[in-house]
Structures are given as C-alpha cells and as structure tokens.
A and B are shown apart, each in its own frame.
Chain A
C-alpha cells in the first residue's frame, strides 16, 4: 500500500515570493508521483507528474517539482507566486500500473494562500 503525507496544511505567502509545498510518500514498490491543483468549487487539474527519467519535473503555470528517491519526497516549488495561485494543492502517488490500471492515493492537501 502507498501513503502520502503533505507536511503543511496551510502555507501563507506574499505575492511574488517563492513557495515550496512539501510532500513525502511511503511505498514498498516503485511509484508514479503527481501534483494536482483544485481551485474553489472546481475539480482537480494536473499540474505535473513524475513517471521516470529526470528527477526535476516542470509543469504548468510555472510550477516544478523534484523527485528525491532517497528521501521519498516530491516537493512542489514556484519561484514567484501570483494571487491566482491561491488554491488547494494535492500530492498523489500511484504504483506502476499493475494489470493495466493505476489508482492514485492522495494526500490531505495543502492550502496555498497568496497575500497581496
């Protein structure tokens, strides 16, 4: 089984400041890693994913994440945030597809609050 821990439930930050949202995972097998964003009253949108290859993954809206296998972490970063980045962010892990299917396990989410 897999589990995901998002270390901060809420991260307040000022506009144009850098931000890091932390995610640690636990798994006995190799995994895929994801970050999703959820804006108020909307569904989830995929920001980025790590499947294999380079450990630094770039996503949409200027976000990037680095996979660290030894520390079992997949932290999300953005060098300069905007008010519009205010949203809930979810880290998720999925075992490599077995029998053709993958099912992500989500963390509890981190609320990013960007102040002007």
Chain B
C-alpha cells in the first residue's frame, strides 16, 4: 500500500519565478493538506482540500494557491517566489476532514 508521495524531491528556483508541487494521497484518502516547514521550525498549515475545494486556509498570502483533482491528488502553486519561501513543503492526506493525517516525505524548495 503506497503511502503519500510527493514530487519533486528537491527544487531550486529563482526569485520571482513560479513553482508547482505535487502530491498523491495515501490509497483510500480523499483529503489533502499542505504545510510549510522552514528550517528549524515546525510545520505551518497552508490549506486543506476536500472534494476539490479549499476547505480551510492558514495565514498565507494569495501567492499560495492549490488544486485538488478528481483522483484526490493535489498541487500547490506558489507565484512570485521570495527568498523566504525556501522551505520543506509537506503534504498530508487523511480519510475525511477529521481523519488522522499521514505525511509525505516533502519537497525541499530552495529560492535563490
């Protein structure tokens, strides 16, 4: 049974560029949440998707947007990248909005 998978593993972008990160949930899960983990910090909630709609959002600017597809996979898009966007981006999936969250290995984004 495949767990949560994320791609790519690592990514290097330049300030001002745009990036798309991808997540496939654990089999049987229909809810995807995204987190940003800066170096030396705990993960911070970005947003959560269920039934292809954004259900909850954390304190992140509109430069951060997402999408959920009919197969429950999800994308995180970040526009106009800033140096401060450098972080590990974690995807977590769950069975329903209140289900236990299972985390993927993350995508390490470096903005230069």
Contacts and interface: CB of A to CB of B under 8 A. Distances in A.
Contact of B98 (A4, A36, A100, A109): A100
A102 B104 contact: no
B contact patch SS = loop
For this complex, into which size category does the number of interface residues on chain B fall?
20 to 34
Contacts of A36: 103
Nearest to A41: B105
Nearest to A101: B97
B43 to A, nearest CB: 5
A44 B103 contact: yes
A97 B97 contact: yes
A58 interface: no
Interface in B89-110: 90, 92, 96-98, 100-106
A111 B55 CA distance: 33
Given A103-B56, A106-B42, A43 B104 contact: yes
Contact of B101 (A4, A41, A104): A104
Interface in B47-84: 48, 50, 55-56, 58
A87 B112 CA distance: 28
A46 interface: yes
Interface of B: 4, 33, 40-45, 48, 50, 55-56, 58, 90, 92, 96-98, 100-106
17 contacts: A36-B103, A41-B105, A42-B105, A43-B106, A44-B43, A46-B100, A46-B101, A90-B43, A100-B98, A101-B56, A101-B97, A102-B98, A103-B56, A104-B45, A108-B40, A108-B41, A109-B41
Given A45-B103, A99-B97, A109-B42, 17 more contacts: A42-B105, A43-B4, A43-B104, A43-B105, A44-B43, A46-B100, A90-B43, A92-B42, A100-B96, A100-B97, A101-B50, A101-B55, A102-B98, A103-B58, A105-B45, A106-B42, A106-B43
